[in-house]
Amino acid sequence: MPPLILSIEGDESANLALVAVVRPSSEKARTVIVRREETIDVPLGRALVELRLPSGRVLTTEVNVAEAGAKASFVTEKSEKATELERLVSPKARPFDDLFRGEMAPVPPAPPPPAFPVRAGDDDAPCGVGMGIVRSLGLARCSDKNIDVTPLFDRSTGVAADALERSKTSWTLRLDPHENEATRFALLATAECTAADGTTAEKTLAILLPIPWRGSSGVDVVLRADASSALSPPIDADVLVRDRDVGPVLGYLASGDVASAMSLEPFVANRANQMLFSKMANPMGAVVGAYCLLRVGSPEVAWTRNLADMFSFIPDASIVHASRLLRPFDGKRETFDEAKAALVAAAAAGPPIFTDGLRWLVDGLADVRASMKEADPKVDAALAYARSLSARARPRELVTNVVGDGTSLDWLFGFDTTNRI
Amino acid sequence: MTLVANRPTNGPGLHAFVVGVGHYPSMPEPAGPAARSALAFTRWLSEKSGYNNPTCPLATIELLVSSKAAMQWGGAAVEPANRDNIETRGAEWLKRAGSHEDNIALLYFAGHGVERGLETALLLEGFNPQSASPFSHAINFTEFLGGMESCAARKQVFVVDACRETPSWVIGFPGALGDGKIAARNLFDRPSMRARDYAVWMAAAADQKAWAPPDGQNFFTTALLRALSGPAADDRSSDDGTFEVRPEFVASSIARLTELGVVEFPVGPQQPQLTGHFSTFVFHVPAPMVVPVRIGCEDAAQTSSAAFEVKSATFDPQRSDPPRDRDWIVDVAPTDATVSVKLASGASSSKSLRVAPPARRVRF
């Protein structure tokens, strides 16, 4: 059969693992993973090629496959409008739209995002009911029982840290992956928010960050103004993991293209296993790989147990292990006890970094609690803590976004009887 | 009557529980489209041209609908979707669905919904936000999903056509948003050691409404039924080239249909979502399998006066004569086809087209 070359050209820096679906004339469709170029054999005749982007868009092109073969090309272009990371994995920003040329349906232009308040004078900008103005922004480092907050922006002075790359519509924070890995990081935004009934209250939005992310890739946070969530600081954060294998999977999952995420499972498994084998190289990456495997398959129990044992200070490591033990549950008491211990340890370590982790923490603890004949105060406290986080979480986000009352941050240190939000 | 279909099967089958809450006596907002949506979904399940799965045929449909006017199905009255009926009929559905590990348990819900953080509540007929315990008349869907592990059916599909907004009074509501009602959690009482595959098709993303025209049915249910007619099917995962609807294809196919203008969410932003935990399984095999093709001219004026034709070696030619006020959308089988246009000026043109799901668009 003649060759069909699938090619993604133009932007040398992209080199992502993307999913293409090839639909030849006389054969069933097949899925191909393409970085820059891939060649497959297809029958003579017409073939439809779809390139599925992590942002949720699908680009299509048709080719005539002759005896000599054919080439289906998609072109990426450098763009001033988007950072490399936005191009990779942001389903919300959909920056690929500007970067790929292909056969795509016209999409009505989106309304411009509201301008972010970048100067103190922007306090006067009109804002709707339920929307406040960000009072301060900071990067919190949590270790032991201490929180050290590095200010990034203070509205009262209008001073913003150099670490923030600011544009009219967004702020980007590029995070150094070389930090002490037992340290937890969160971005904190405070604001006075106004409810529909006119009452005001001080709120703190904590955005848990998947750092340190070791290796060649890092993490960027792109902040935009967002007035859609009532009673919450008006910020929306895209947390972008700059990893060419894992990044697209997260994008596919976030945009709902689970079929494409499933197609990339071998990449994720390989990468997650690589991270595990190199021990302390990138525990956060291993956690992300485990989450992807939990969503689209089933990681090895020994694999998740090692992860939980080695990185107990990352709640998500314990959560993926407990989730794996309970899905499916083998009915053994020792398995139950191991899962229970992992879930309680996770809640004691603080909020999970990923929203899926928070879901599984609540679900797992609720299962454990309902399955015990006698109450266990630790399980009850852990479940109450997890539920209080869950009720304050933003469900659409990749990483855990929790809105707390006031400015107390004790709950970042995990459950005990006093650490309710 | 609530059991509107009862077709005994020798092996596994699909057991559906369809709930439509189109009437809330204590709430001012009309919800009539929810009742019509539940009936439309029930029709799709029961009709010959609707649900089709040779390895898991339709076995039973339990139907509860609340509406201002009494609802009927097959000449018999349909019982309302209140708390008592949900609990009793739901328990019966759960028992039937759990009768075989390879059954598919399906819950369809259309009505009001609220969300607080990661917790979703589906509101039943007696829901009253002013009452002391409003969520006693609600299904805590998050808890229900967890409890469905107690159902032996290892394939489960949940369709939630409901809003996912957070009213301000819900933020401060003490305690959980109701309970799981019919499905209780217990790890040691699980009927199967097999992993459960479950998929949740939600009408909207978090913070969004699930919209509906006042006199029709919910946009999401309309889009979902459109997708199930073929666009959500694919042959890439099947062994023999059969076009199958698998859970992971549905939400992205609706997104593509929306992008190509084949289905519309015309009132407000609404992005259907897929969640759940599953490997993959066949939910439905469309028969006949059709793919919508949207055909038009770059110049809208030419579209209104053009004659279009689609032909192929495998189906009879289909034509659309002017006048029309929008692009022509035609359903055809997936194959190689030729699309042609004849303009009012007499000029004509044609294009080859590989027709493949979820949809194609041709511009002249």
What pLDDT is attached to residue A104? 37
Mutate to test the interface with A, among B168, B190, B354, B360 (most CBs of A within 10 A): B354
Domain at B3-277, CATH from 3.40.50.1460, 3.90.1150.170, 3.20.20.60, 3.30.365.10: 3.40.50.1460
Report, as an integer, the average pLDDT of B202-224. Answer: 91
Mutate to test the interface with B, among A19, A65, A229, A258 (most CBs of B within 10 A): A258
DSSP β-bridge partners for residue A26:
none
What pLDDT is attached to residue A278? 59
Q: Domain range spanning residue A141? A: 120-240
Structure tokens at B149: 């592990």
Same domain, A22 and A97: yes
Instruction: Please check whether residue A280 lies inside any domain of the structure.
Output: no
What pLDDT is attached to residue A103? 39
Of A191, A207, A240, which residue constitutes the final position of a domain? A240
Interatomic CA distance for residues A149 and A3, integer angstroms: 57
The 10s digit of each residue's pLDDT in A279-304 is 567 788 788 778 877 766 677 888 88
Q: B117–A328: do the CB atoms touch at under 8 Å?
A: no
Same domain, A130 and A95: no
Same domain, A79 and A129: no
Instruction: Please check whether residue A397 lies inside any domain of the structure.
Output: no
Q: B118–A366: do the CB atoms touch at under 8 Å?
A: no
Same domain, A144 and A50: no
What pLDDT is attached to residue A99? 38
Q: Which of B86-95, B115-124, B247-256 has the lowest mean pLDDT?
A: B247-256
Same domain, A41 and A125: no
Measure in Å the smallest separation between the Cα of A46 and chain B Cα atoms: 7
| Residue B69: band (very low, low, confident or very high) from pLDDT cuts 50, 70, 90 | confident
* pLDDT, greater one: A163 or B134: B134
Report, as an integer, the average pLDDT of B110-120. Answer: 94
Interatomic CA distance for residues A289 and A319, integer angstroms: 13
Classify residue A293 by burial, with Cβ atoms within 10 Å: 0-12, 13-18, 19+.
buried
Q: A358–B185: do the CB atoms touch at under 8 Å?
A: no
What pLDDT is attached to residue A180? 64
User: Which residues on chain A are in Cβ contact (under 8 Å) with B248?
Assistant: 258-259, 262
Residue type, B325: D
B293 and B339 Cβ atoms separated by less than 8 Å? yes
Of A218, A240, A262, which residue constitutes the final position of a domain? A240
Instruction: Please check whether residue A64 lies inside any domain of the structure.
Output: yes
Residue-level pLDDT, tens digit, chain A, 421 residues: 999 999 887 665 566 778 899 999 888 999 998 888 999 999 999 999 998 877 777 788 999 999 999 999 887 655 444 454 444 444 454 433 333 433 333 334 444 444 444 333 444 333 333 334 678 889 998 877 788 888 888 877 777 787 777 766 677 787 765 556 678 889 998 888 777 677 788 889 999 998 877 765 678 888 877 766 666 787 888 887 777 767 777 777 776 677 787 787 777 667 666 666 655 677 887 887 788 777 666 778 888 898 899 888 899 999 999 999 998 889 999 999 999 999 999 999 999 999 989 999 999 999 999 999 999 999 999 999 999 999 999 888 888 999 988 777 888 888 874 554 4
High-pLDDT (> 90) share of chain B, %: 70
User: Which residues on chain A are in Cβ contact (under 8 Å) with B188?
Assistant: 331, 336, 371
Our measurement of the distance from residue B81's CA atom to the centroid of its chain's CA atoms, rounded to an integer in Å, reads: 19
Q: B168–A195: do the CB atoms touch at under 8 Å?
A: yes
The CA R_g of chain B, rounded to the nearest whole Å, is 22
pTM score, whole prediction? 0.89
Map chain A to HEC letters.
CCEEEEEEECCCCCCCCEEEEEEECCCCCEEEEECCEEEEECCCEEEEEEEECCCCCEEEEEEEEECCEEEEEEEECCCCCCCHHHHHHCCCCCCHHHHEECECCCCCCCCCCCCCCCCHHHHHCCCCCCCCCEEEEEEEEEECCEEEEEEEEECCCCEECCCEEECCCCEEEEECCCCCCCCEEEEEEEEEEECCCCCEEEEEEEEECCCCCCCCCCEEEEEEECCCCCCCCCEEEEEEECCCCHHHHHHHHHHCCHHHHHHCHHHHHHHHHHHHHCHHHCHHHHHHHHHHHHHHCCCCHHHHHHHHHHCCCCHHHHHHHHHHHHCCCCCCHHHHHHHHHHHHHHHHHCCCCEHHHHHHHHHHHHHHHHCCCCCCHHHHHHHHHHHHHHHCECCCCCECEEEEECCCCHHHHCCCCCCCC
Q: Where are the domains of chain B?
A: 3-277, 291-363
What pLDDT is attached to residue B359? 94
Mutate to test the interface with B, among A28, A265, A323, A403 (most CBs of B within 10 A): A28
Same domain, A172 and A82: no
- Please name the residues in contact with A75: beta carbons below 8 A apart, sequence gap of 6 or more: A8, A9, A10, A100, A101, A102
Q: A327–B119: do the CB atoms touch at under 8 Å?
A: no
B269 prior amide bond cis, ω within 30: no
User: Which residues on chain A are in Cβ contact (under 8 Å) with B261?
Assistant: 105
B287 and B233 Cβ atoms separated by less than 8 Å? no
Same domain, A72 and A127: no
Q: B118–A196: do the CB atoms touch at under 8 Å?
A: no
Of A69, A101, A133, which residue constitutes the final position of a domain? A101
Instruction: Please check whether residue A319 lies inside any domain of the structure.
Output: no
What pLDDT is attached to residue A118? 39
Same domain, A83 and A131: no
> In this structure, what CATH number is given to the domain that contains residue A51?
2.60.40.1120
Instruction: Please check whether residue A378 lies inside any domain of the structure.
Output: no
Measure in Å the smallest separation between the Cα of B89 and chain A Cα atoms: 23
Q: B205–A297: do the CB atoms touch at under 8 Å?
A: no
A227 to chain B: closest CA residue: B207
Q: B352–A62: do the CB atoms touch at under 8 Å?
A: yes
The 10s digit of each residue's pLDDT in B307-319 is 999 999 999 999 9
Measure in Å the smallest separation between the Cα of A113 and chain B Cα atoms: 15
Report, as an integer, the average pLDDT of B126-148. Answer: 93
What pLDDT is attached to residue B17? 98
Same domain, A21 and A86: yes
Classify residue A7 by burial, with Cβ atoms within 10 Å: 0-12, 13-18, 19+.
middle
Q: B241–A28: do the CB atoms touch at under 8 Å?
A: yes
Structure tokens at A345: 């340890």
Interatomic CA distance for residues B294 and B284, integer angstroms: 24
User: Which residues on chain A are in Cβ contact (under 8 Å) with B352?
Assistant: 46, 62
A359 to chain B: closest CA residue: B118
Instruction: Please check whether residue A85 lies inside any domain of the structure.
Output: yes
Same domain, A95 and A133: no
High-pLDDT (> 70) share of chain B, %: 99
Measure in Å the smallest separation between the Cα of A176 and chain B Cα atoms: 30
User: Which residues on chain B are in Cβ contact (under 8 Å) with A395?
Assistant: 115, 117-118, 206
Same domain, A46 and A77: yes
According to CATH, what is the number of the domain B291-363? Answer: 2.60.40
The 10s digit of each residue's pLDDT in B151-195 is 999 999 999 999 998 888 888 788 889 888 788 888 998 888 888
Q: What is the DSSP letter of B284?
A: B
